[in-house]
Structures are given as structure tokens and as C-alpha cells.
Amino acid sequence: MSQGLFHFELSERKIMLRFIDIILICLCIIGLNAFFEKPYIYYSQKFPIWLGCYLIYFLFFGTVFELYVLKKAESRFIIFKNLILSLTGTIILFLLTPYVTPILPQNRSDIFYLYSANLFALTMWRFSYITFITAPRFYKRIIIVGENFDVEDIISNIHKHDKNYDIIGYIDTGKDRNTKSRIKSFTIDQLEEVFEKNYINEIIVANSYKGVNENLFEYLAPHLKKGIPIKPYYKVYEEVTKKILLKDITSNFYFYFPFSRSNQNKLYLFMNRSIDILVSILGIIIMLLLIPLILSINLFFNKGKLFYKQKRVGKFNAVFTIVKFRTMVKDAEKDGAKWAVENDYRITPFGKFLRKSRIDELPQFLNILKGEMSLIGPRPERPEFIESLKDSIPFYETRHIIKPGLTGWAQVNAKYASSQNESLEKLQYDLYYIKERKLYLDFRILVKTISTIIFFRGH
């Protein structure tokens, strides 16, 4: 196979990882049945149920412990650690659900054999994936074309989120081009030669919202007819970053930003609200159980009121009062509203724990039950900051077309916003959620939220 003729898309790599994980687990269980008499998961009428249950548990814990996050799937240390965590969670939950799983074997070592066989097979497969599938041989080979664009910005954005792109070069037909880049520059007349020598898989059009001029299009058209994908940069940006590209969008924003049908889908909204009510009731019960413990610890490490109330902006710019467990010292904002920053001196030691574990957010289930917030959505911002943010960040108020959320796509992908630049990045994630909103994305956010809590990534 010639170098560069074959590559795996992002979605294909994720499907491949899951598919081969499932196949190897099945082969391990079949192999244990071949070598041992009646192992833990043995052949019987309930074998398909047991096997299916085991696979579902593994895929769930594998998602929670980030086995299918591609950047982390390329590190041997991280992947081995996450395999141990995923298999441990799978085995423990499997043992705790006896109605859909086999009874404990007399020989407890059978459980160890199942665990060890899975760990060995999956480790060998994942290390092979790192060695071969993520090798340059399988990189997507692309060329960037357009007029008066910042090629270094494009390279940086792509490689920051997916290193499996081999950017061969670029063609800038603009008259005002002053670009200096680490990659090679070609002229429009060299396009055919570049394709022949470099096995290009894809063409990226840099000027996403303007397209290409007629002269460049004539050179690209023959390659389009040959089946070479030609993609606008904003589509590639969304694919690799999972956020919206706001740069260079002006008054045409709403043309390029089709709102998800789920935002008006009555069935989706009904299911969304039903889940909000059920989860908020459960969350309030957990909060009530934790209040005596938090109150006791506050006496020594977080002196002051138990709760903290603050005005926030919700759907359609409605202002409501958010409720949280207090994490800052008394009179933390006596001089006016301030951005919370990393290692904020105003946060108490116990308050830092409450934030990292997300326990401080539990009282917001009251806001969800009242309908002021949803379980998933953009994080509600303070009115004091909204005025400055909407003046400096284009389309900022678009995030107010849906209810704010306790967690959201921005919260699980971006760090805490302590400046306007970081708020811009979070807005890009929020707009991606509003654009792509659906049950599957909601589920992904919930699972990533569990990962955030487990790995103590709260802010």
C-alpha cells in the first residue's frame, strides 16, 4: 500500500476501538470456556444475557475512564491505567447485579482469570493501536487552499486537537499574502503535481465562509470529480475541536449556524424536562444527606454560612437566583464582582474540595426542579459580566436561547472561564451544543461529567 493512500477518520478510529475491544472480550470469554470447565461466564441459556451485560458495563466504564478519547488512547501509560480502572469497575458492577449476571463461582480465582485475560488481550491490542494505527502511515494527508488566510492558525488548531493530520502544504492565491509558515507553500499551477507526488486525501478550503475564487475552483473541480473530499475549514474545525469557529463570521452567522431541531422538538423537550425532575429529586435527597457532614466540617475549615446565593442570567435573559454551597471566605466580593481564577485566594481549603468534587453544585438541583435551569446546558453567567461579554464577544447572547445547565459541553471540555478570552472559548463549545443538541450528545456530557468528578477536574 502506498504511503498516504489509507487513513482513518476520527469517527472510524473511535468505532474501531470499541469494536475490537468488544471482539477481544468475547474471544477471551470463549477461550476461558474452552480451557476451563464452567468458568465465571459459562455456556448456558443465560450466556447471551450475561455476555451482553458484561459488554455494556465495560463500554460504560470505558467511556467514563476515557478509553475512547483519542488523544489519551495514544499514551501507553494512560491507556493501561484506564484499562485497569475500566475492567475493575466492570467486574465490581458485574458482581453486584446478580439478577442479570451469574452467581459467584465456588472457585473465586475464575473471576481473576476473567479479569487477567481481558486486561492482557486489551493491553496488547491498545499498544498495537498506538504502534501501528497512529503511525504516520495512516495520517490524513491534506493541503490547505484559499485567499489571504492565516495558515499557522489553521495548523495550530488542527494539530492541537488531532495530530493524525499530515499537512503537506498550502496554496494562498491572495494578493495581500505575507504568510510565513513551517509548511511548504505552493502555487496554484503546482496543484496537480502536489496531488501526484503526495497522495492527498483531502482539500481544506481556508476561507470557510467566502469559498474560493473562480480561478482556484477550476483547478479544484477535477479532483472533486475524482472523489477527493473538499471541505470548508469551519467543518473540519468543528469535527476535530467539537466547538464552533466564530472567526471571520459576521452578519451571515445564522446562515452558517442552523439551530438543532431538538430545541423545538416537543418530545425531546418533554423527555428533557422529565429527566430534569427525576434527577433533581435524587440530587436534592443526596444534598440533604450531606448537609450535616458539610455543616460540621464548615465549623473548622470553612466558617460562615452554609449556602451562597447569586444572581444569574437564564433562558431569554431572565434573571434568577442560583444556590450553591459556599466555597469562599466571608465578604469575598466586598469590592465588587470579580472573575474566579485558578488558585483563587478567596476559596477556602474545604471550599476547594467542594469545587473539585462538584459537591458545591448540589443545591442547584433546586433551581432545576423549579425549571430555572436544566441538567445540561450552557453555564449561567452573572449579570455583571454579561454586559461586557456581549459587547466584546460576537453572538454571546445566543447561548440564552435555551435553559442554562448544571453541566454542559463547555464545562466538560474547557477550563474555568476567568477572562473574556476563556469565555469566548466556552461560548464556542456552548454554540456547538446548541447546534448539535440531541439525546446522544446529552448522554456524552453526562458520562464526561462523571469522568470530571472521578478525576477531580472540577473548578
Query: Which of 54-58, 329-333, 393-397 ranks highest by mean pLDDT?
Result: 54-58
Q: Where are the alpha helices (DSSP H) in 242-341?
A: 253-256, 266-301
pLDDT, position 302: 85
Nine-digit cell at 60? 460504560
pLDDT of residue 398: 85
Give me the pLDDT at residue 2, please.
Answer: 40
Specify which residues 312 forms β-bridges with: 320
C-alpha cell at 107: 472457585
Reported confidence tier of residue 261, pLDDT bands at 50, 70, 90: confident
199: left (phi over 0), alpha (psi -120 to 50) or beta: left
User: Cell 477550476 maps to which residue?
Assistant: 218
Going by C-alpha positions, the residue among 40, 22, 21 that lies closest to residue 32 is: 40
* pLDDT in the model for residue 28: 97
Q: What's the pLDDT score for residue 246?
A: 81
Pair 327, 355: CB distance under 8 Å:
yes
> Which residues is 171 bridged to in the sheet?
145
Residue range 210-239: average pLDDT?
84
Rounded mean pLDDT, 10-24: 94
Average pLDDT score over the chain:
87
| pLDDT for position 394 | 77
Mean pLDDT for the stretch of residues 100-125 = 93
Among 24-33, 247-256, 389-398, whose mean pLDDT is lowest? Answer: 247-256
The number of helix segments (H) and strand segments (E) in the chain equals: 16, 9
Give the mean pLDDT of 133-162: 87
The region of weakest confidence among 75-79, 160-164, 170-174, 211-215 is 211-215
- Which pLDDT does position 459 carry in this prediction? 60
Residue 301 has pLDDT above 90, yes or no: no
Model confidence band, residue 347 (pLDDT cutoffs 50, 70, 90): confident
Share of the chain above pLDDT 70, in %: 90
> According to the model, what pLDDT value does residue 4 have?
46
Which of 62-76, 83-97, 373-387, 388-402 shows the lowest mean pLDDT across its residues? 388-402
pLDDT of residue 1: 35
Please name which of 74, 83, 82, 77 lies closest in space to residue 120, comparing C-alpha atoms: 83
pLDDT for 26-59, tens place per residue? Answer: 999 999 999 988 899 999 999 999 999 999 999 9
Whole-number pLDDT of residue 174: 78
Q: Where are the domains of the chain?
A: 10-133, 139-241, 262-454
Is a pLDDT exceeding 90 seen at residue 414? no
Q: What average pLDDT does this structure show over 251-279?
A: 80
pLDDT of residue 3: 45
- Stretch 226-245: mean pLDDT, rounded? 89
pTM recorded for the entire structure: 0.85
Amino acid at 342: E
Kindly state the percentage of the chain with pLDDT values over 90.
49
The average pLDDT across 315-337 equals 84
Pick the CATH number of 139-241 from 1.20.120.530, 1.10.730.10, 3.40.50.10700, 3.65.10.10: 3.40.50.10700
Residue range 285-299: mean pLDDT, rounded: 94
* 430-to-100, 245, 266 alpha-carbon distances in Å: 39, 12, 21
